[in-house]
Amino acid sequence: MADTLFDVKDGIAIVTLNRPEKLNSLTMVQLEELSQKANEFEQDDAVRAIIITATGKGFSTGADLSGGGGRPDMTTGMGICCKIKMAKVAKQKSIKLQLEIP
């Protein structure tokens, strides 16, 4: 199953972090996917809200620093870029960005 699940229903984009065995720590691949989806949400006039949730017992421990595709740090800037992009989409579209913590 995918590490990040995306669904849009009734104007609500639902992003689900799906790595419960790693406490949903984010890989570079996931951050790239999130950034790409943020661009798609920005262009989709039907998206009025974004909910970010997670599977398992923890929301997210942050970046996965174990390697495998690089580290999302100040060198790559991907982690910060993704967070800023999601916030920008929410502000431009006057939509609600909600984090759901299990």
Question: What is the Cα–Cα distance from 11 to 13, expressed in whole angstroms?
Answer: 7
Give me the pLDDT at residue 84, please.
Answer: 58
Q: In degrees rounded to 5, what are phi and psi of residue 61?
A: -90, 0
Query: Into how many domains does the chain fold?
Result: 1
Q: Mapping DSSP to helix (H, G, I), strand (E, B) and coil, where does residue 56 land?
A: coil
In this predicted structure, the answer to whether residue 33 has a pLDDT above a threshold of 60 is: yes
Q: What's the chain's average pLDDT?
A: 76
Q: Please report which confidence band the pLDDT of residue 20 belongs to, taking 50, 70 and 90 as the band edges.
A: very high
Give me the pLDDT at residue 74, please.
Answer: 44
* Each residue's pLDDT tens digit, 52-67: 888 988 888 777 777 6
Question: What is the Cα–Cα distance from 34 to 48, expressed in whole angstroms?
Answer: 17
* Each residue's pLDDT tens digit, 76-87: 545 555 665 666
Q: Mapping DSSP to helix (H, G, I), strand (E, B) and coil, where does residue 25 land?
A: coil
CATH of the domain at 56: 3.90.226.10
Find tokens 């996917």 and name the residue. Answer: 33
In this predicted structure, the answer to whether residue 88 has a pLDDT above a threshold of 80 is: no
Domain of residue 93 covers 4-99
User: In angstroms, what is the C-alpha Rg of the chain?
Assistant: 13
Q: Please report which confidence band the pLDDT of residue 3 belongs to, taking 50, 70 and 90 as the band edges.
A: very high
